[in-house]
A and B are shown apart, each in its own frame.
Chain A
Amino acid sequence: MTITDITADVPAPRSGEDSGGKLLDVRDLHVEFHTRDGIAKAVNGVNYSVDAGETLAVLGESGSGKSVTAQAIMGILDMPPGKIPQGEILFRGQDMLKMSAEERRKIRGNKIAMIFQDALSSLNPVLSVGYQLGEMFRVHQGLSKKAAKAKAVELMDRVRIPAAKERVSDYPHQFSGGMRQRIMIAMALALEPDLIIADEPTTALDVTVQAQVMELLAELQREYHMGLILITHDLGVVADVADKIAVMYAGRIVETAPVHELYKRPAHPYTRGLLDSIPRLDRKGQELYAIKGLPPNLLKIPTGCAFNPRCPKAQDICRTDVPVLEPVTEQDGSPLPGRGSACHFWKETIHG
């Protein structure tokens, strides 16, 4: 599944307002939280973009800022304590951070929707799933209660919930984990958005159910030609579905690459460390490679490159200068499209 063969399947983007630019373009986004102990810099200059029909995987550990970025895009960040001191979030060329609350509300759910990690705590336990699914239609499209319920049944059929008609009045606790996640997906899909942000959609699920849910998501994405931002820490899931990957560490993107390239030749020591720490067959019985140390405290991010205390390649320059995300090239200087690395020594990492 590459980018090209998806676009080949689908003739044209279904929306006419596409001006040839990116569907979503995040530019130099900063998010900080003002806490009693100081300012926690959760996101420090993130840049990424997604096209229609494309899957961007944002990979990172807890505290790397991947979910906060997503919340900033959705406009569901708690402000205060959160604050966006600088940056732009362009959706179809328009900066959402400059929009009024009413304008953003029209985009939220309608154009950009989100799937949350824990379906049980994201669904309202005292309202039936049919009511919650129908809310999208009632609020955004002004449908009647009855029409909204009929739409809800349709949606539940779409995400292959068996006996949707009988189950539409059931409550979230009456569904299994996988089925609840399907309801979350149905809710996100309700208004056929252009972009879906899935924040760890399968982390709480068993592998057999995870496979079902990921396949459903990929299929619906193909069908509606949506952009998808998949936030995860699972290197396996990423390898299965992503087109391109952005690796985050301490609020920055440390590497971007098309999926095949990243696994073959990582250009950042952090990415390399993550890939090396996966247990592999040929290394059974030996010690696993482990990145030493701990992810940094966001209240005191190390100077220079945030990864320097844990990096095996760290030199003096890494402790003083913040590396910028530079384009990565082949040894002879020919460009590698879509690749970038925020490491002073990316050349050594990728070619060494």
Chain B
Amino acid sequence: MADTEKTPEAVDATPNVTEVEVVKAATEEAAVAAIDAPVERGEPILQVRNLVKHFPLTQGILFKRQIGAVKAVDGVSFDLYQGETLGIVGESGCGKSTVAKLLMTLETATAGEVFYKGQDITRLSGRALKAVRRNIQMVFQDPYTSLNPRMTVGDIIGEPFEIHPEVAPKGDRRRKVQDLLDVVGLNPEYINRYPHQFSGGQRQRIGIARGLALNPEIIICDEPVSALDVSVQAQVINLMEKLQDEFNLSYLFIAHDLSIVRHISDRVGVMYLGKMAEIGTDTEIYDHPTHPYTQALLSAVPVPDPESREGRERIILAGDVPSPANPPSGCRFRTRCWKAEDKCAKEVPLLAIPERFAGSDSPAAHESACHFAEEKDVVHA
């Protein structure tokens, strides 16, 4: 990975973020103590700075040569505050799931930092990393493949206790698992059943119970409801909102269903080809989008109201998302953008509050990575 060429690309200079208070922990004990320290509600708990993940493309069998890299995530910065839900939306291939894996330290970042309570988790190891992993848990997209079919529900939900025995002493685990089943709305007597005996919605509840087992502070939800039936989606969303209040959780909610993201999120980030295109509160993004991609995305969403279909302006983008192995120069969206000019091919637009809105308190004044950011209300148009 070291020979991935360092592009002289500018990084987002004034990202949407607060300053990181880096906690320098001399010993592992100090690091663990810092990780276990509580965070006030509304304070940043996770701070992501210029996160980069390049997957190398190699050629040759014996003498592997790197011929390029898939730039899955290419300089993403954001904050997650304690107790909030940050929604991440974007098309497939924009890097949203890779971000999730990086935050879980399931993948190692090529560059950039992820600060959890001031500790850079990309550099942690040993007990400190283990403590972080206990506090950041994940709920996966597909409840049919993310549960081991040969394990009982009790074993699946109880497995985290094997790795982190300090959370639940051995004799106490069964009761704890039954409590968790109860919390997610399943009958505690189902503890000895296997995943195939449950429906999709119930399986997703099992996945959520597993995520809750270690009393985490952050849950990363990667498309948690997109595999579920419409009538069951609402049940799972309600459950997740209830659990957030009950256990004071922070959610990073990744999805492509924009209406569900709006319902559950406090803030929303829009990703395109490994970069954050726009980020702001839900009203800022949905009612006052300034990035052309966000506008196109919002206008493409079918509205479940036949009355609106005549009057609605739809921006239909031409073509497909370019390959992340060879993204366009300058602004990555320029190949599909109707506003693109020469400047867009030369200069990478930085994620910042657009100059024309700087200092104003209008809702359009939120970070948007576009040279020609302009407000356009597409949802009500």
Contact = CB atoms under 8 A, between A and B. Distances in A.
Contacts of B297: 207-208
A214 B316 CA distance: 11
A207, A210, A260, A283 — which one has the most chain B CB atoms within 10 A of its CB?
A207
A81 to B, nearest CB: 20
A220 B300 CA distance: 19
Most buried by A among B259, B303, B310, B320: B320
Interface residues of B, number: 40
A234 B321 CA distance: 23
B300 A211 contact: yes
B234 A289 contact: yes
A178 B320 contact: yes
A184 interface: no
Contacts of B305: 239, 263
B320 A179 contact: yes
B314 interface: yes
B40 interface: no
A99 interface: no
Interface stretch (A35-43, A193-201, A273-281): A273-281
Contacts of B232: 290, 294
Contact of B309 (A1, A274, A281): A1
Contacts of A237: 302
A207 B309 contact: no
Contacts of A289: 234
Nearest to A289: B234
Interface string B128-150: 00000000000000000000000
Nearest to A235: B304
A240 interface: yes
Chain A, interface size category, equals 35 or more
Contacts of B260: 279
B268 to A, nearest CB: 12
Nearest to A287: B238
A208 B94 CA distance: 13
Contact of B303 (A236, A274, A295): A236
A179 B319 CA distance: 9
B304 A263 contact: yes
Interface in B301-341: 301-310, 314, 316-317, 320-321
Given A206-B256, A290-B234, A295-B229, A212 B316 contact: yes
Interface string B87-99: 0000110000000
Nearest to B200: A62
A207 B301 contact: yes
Contact of A233 (B229, B238, B241): B229
Interface in A150-180: 176-179
Nearest to A1: B309
Contacts of A277: 230-231, 233-234
A259 interface: yes
B379 to A, nearest CB: 9
B199 A294 contact: yes
Contacts of A234: 302
Nearest to B91: A206
Q: Is the interface of A mostly helix, strand, loop or mixed?
A: helix
A239 B231 contact: no
B186 interface: no
B258 interface: yes
A275 B231 CA distance: 9
A291 B260 CA distance: 16
Contacts of A239: 302-306, 308-309
Given A206-B92, A208-B296, A208-B317, A284 B306 contact: no
A215 interface: yes
Nearest to A64: B229
B304 A236 contact: yes
A46 B344 CA distance: 55
B355 to A, nearest CB: 28
Interface in A219-240: 233-240
Interface string B239-260: 0010000000000000010111
A284 B286 CA distance: 13
Contacts of A242: 306
A235 B230 contact: yes
Contacts of A295: 199, 229, 231
B231 A260 contact: no
Interface in B212-244: 229-235, 237-238, 241
A289 B317 CA distance: 33
Q: Which of B202, B302, B314, B321 has the most CB of A within 10 A?
A: B302
Interface of A: 1, 61-62, 176-179, 206-212, 214-215, 233-240, 242, 259-260, 263, 273-275, 277-279, 281, 283-284, 287-292, 294-295
Pairs of residues from A and B, 8 with the lowest C-beta to C-beta distance, nearest first: A236-B302, A279-B263, A290-B234, A277-B234, A211-B300, A206-B91, A235-B304, A291-B231
5 contacts: A215-B316, A236-B304, A278-B304, A288-B263, A294-B201
Given A235-B304, A236-B302, A295-B231, 5 more contacts: A206-B92, A208-B297, A208-B317, A279-B263, A294-B199
